[in-house]
Structure 1
Amino acid sequence: MSFTLLIAGATGLIGKKTLELALADPSINKVIAPVRKKLPDHPKLEQWVDSDFAKALRPGKADAVICCLGTTIKKAGSKEAFRHVDHDLVITLGKWAKENGVGTFCVVSSMGADAGSSIFYNKVKGEMERDLFALQLPTLHIFHPSILKGPREAVRIGERIGIAAMSAFSFITPDNYKPMPYDTLAKALISASKIKTSGTYTYRKIFELAGR
């Protein structure tokens, strides 16, 4: 049976690793990547290139979607621009999945996501989850990873300090807040894309999925 996977955010830390794993997975026959700039060619990779993400999406068939879209307020330049990426574009992708009959939708959210939160970041993530649920997608997998350990193009001093501190005191740090290797999350996303029962995943469940 053929399996087609669409990966959004394929140039970021998580998306890039997820794309790498998907292309190497013999059970995945085709990978679709909506991107702003063309990636290196691969026999299994179909690229939808457009500087506007919404315009890059076109009618197509996929068995599952993995959404790794995300930015920071600093990188985006404003709260409004951050919300556009972390909420609006994710919901645009969710609507595309619904309209094109995609069976499984996986999305990377965040610990603390809460539409009622007074913390802007958590509030946006919570609203994104709420609005995805409202689409009533056949299968929805939501991931709440802790701080991710991995190579980043942008240096985030606060994150590095947090990773170092939580790693040093991992014996007393609650599981859900322990630093997580970025490739562990990528492996879990690939596994979830093949599961037809909706779920929400935090630290332990993410590691369990990654080990499948």
Structure 2
Amino acid sequence: MSADKKGKKAILFGASGFVGSYLLEGLLNDADYEQVTIVVRKNLNVSHPKLKTLIGDYHSLPGLKDEIVADEVFIALGTTKKNTPDQKIYYQVDHDYPVLAAQIGKERGAKSVFLVSAVGPDAGSSIFYIRTKGETERDVIAQDLLHTHIFRPSMIMGNRKESRTLEKSLIKIFSLINPLFIGPMQKFRGIEGKDIAKAMLAAAKKPAGKVKIYEWKEMKELL
């Protein structure tokens, strides 16, 4: 990047999560970005000249608005049924917070939003998880940023810090059955968390239309 060309400013929500931690590392190491702001509930103890840490959550985000300046918004928020059994709080984390993040990002100058969703979202589904993902996608798109990028992984693979016994078993199964998902079923293939982050960062460097959906195949093509 030439000295006279200013770098981009990114804001990242979900930096403490599995995909989010890879995104943070990638953004900080990318010469295209001059500032990376993260909104986290507690300090991650990460130090970097480009990093700006804001302590906050869904409820306090509007109060942080003046400290947010971004060209791009990266959203890797999410929870699990085990960590958040209350459906109302789950919906707040998985739907309300991403939508608010996109809305405030746009107000503060962002032109693009990059959202981690999930395979098979459907706002009309009777299944809570699938419906929530569908409503989140619908409502983030409705914020009407110049570019909306939506990433729909199936099983997110890789080594997590927290121990999830069932998930580890599922990842082993997916490693074996991944090649069986062919044609239209390809979208159900598992993908490494670090590869989702890489695909998101690669997408930020490519010309894009108004709304772009990335399933397994599209994410793999960016790597």
TM-score by length of 1: 0.92
Among 135, 141, 145, the alignment partner of 1:133 is 141
Q: After superposition, give the CA deviation of every residue in 1:89-147 in whole Å (9 maximum; x if it has no partner).
A: 01110110221120110000000111011211010010011111222111100000121
Name the SS of the counterpart of 1:169 in structure 2. Answer: helix
Name the SS of the counterpart of 1:188 in structure 2. Answer: helix
Between the aligned partners of 2:20 and 2:123, the Cα distance in structure 1 is 25
Among 44, 50, 53, the alignment partner of 1:44 is 50
Q: Which moved more, 1:141-150 or 1:167-176?
A: 167-176
Q: After superposition, give the CA deviation of every residue in 1:31-58 in whole Å (9 maximum; x if it has no partner).
A: 0111111232210101111355525632
2:185 paired with 1:177: no
Question: What is the CA distance between 1:70 and its match in structure 2?
Answer: 0.5
Could you say if the C-alpha distance between residues 188 and 53 of structure 1 is closer, same or farther in structure 2, counting changes exceeding 3 Å? farther
2:39 paired with 1:34: yes
Q: Which moved more, 1:5-14 or 1:153-162?
A: 153-162
1:106–1:189 CA contact under 8 A, matched in 2: yes
Letter of the aligned partner of 1:58 in structure 2? K
Counterpart position of 1:25: 30
> How many residues of Structure 1 are paired with residues of Structure 2 in the alignment?
210
Between the aligned partners of 1:53 and 1:7, the Cα distance in structure 2 is 16
Q: Which runs of 5+ in 1 are unaligned?
A: none
Name the SS of the counterpart of 1:58 in structure 2. Answer: helix
Between the aligned partners of 2:28 and 2:102, the Cα distance in structure 1 is 23
Percent identity, aligned pairs only, is 34
Q: Which moved more, 1:105-114 or 1:130-139?
A: 130-139
1:37–1:49 CA contact under 8 A, matched in 2: yes
Name the SS of the counterpart of 2:26 in structure 1. Answer: helix
Among 54, 70, 73, the alignment partner of 2:78 is 70
Question: What is the CA distance between 1:196 and its match in structure 2?
Answer: 4.6
Question: What is the CA distance between 1:194 and its match in structure 2?
Answer: 3.3
Between the aligned partners of 2:24 and 2:152, the Cα distance in structure 1 is 20
**1:41-190 to 2 correspondence within 5 Å?**
41-50=47-56, 52=59, 54-55=61-62, 57-59=64-66, 60-173=68-181, 174-190=185-201
Name the SS of the counterpart of 1:7 in structure 2. Answer: strand
Between the aligned partners of 2:162 and 2:85, the Cα distance in structure 1 is 14
2:116–2:150 CA contact under 8 A, matched in 1: yes
Q: After superposition, give the CA deviation of every residue in 1:171-203 in whole Å (9 maximum; x if it has no partner).
A: 312321121111100101112233452310000
Q: Which moved more, 1:28-37 or 1:190-199?
A: 190-199
Counterpart position of 1:205: 218
* Cα root mean square deviation, aligned: 1.6
1:149–1:181 CA contact under 8 A, matched in 2: yes
Between the aligned partners of 2:16 and 2:86, the Cα distance in structure 1 is 21
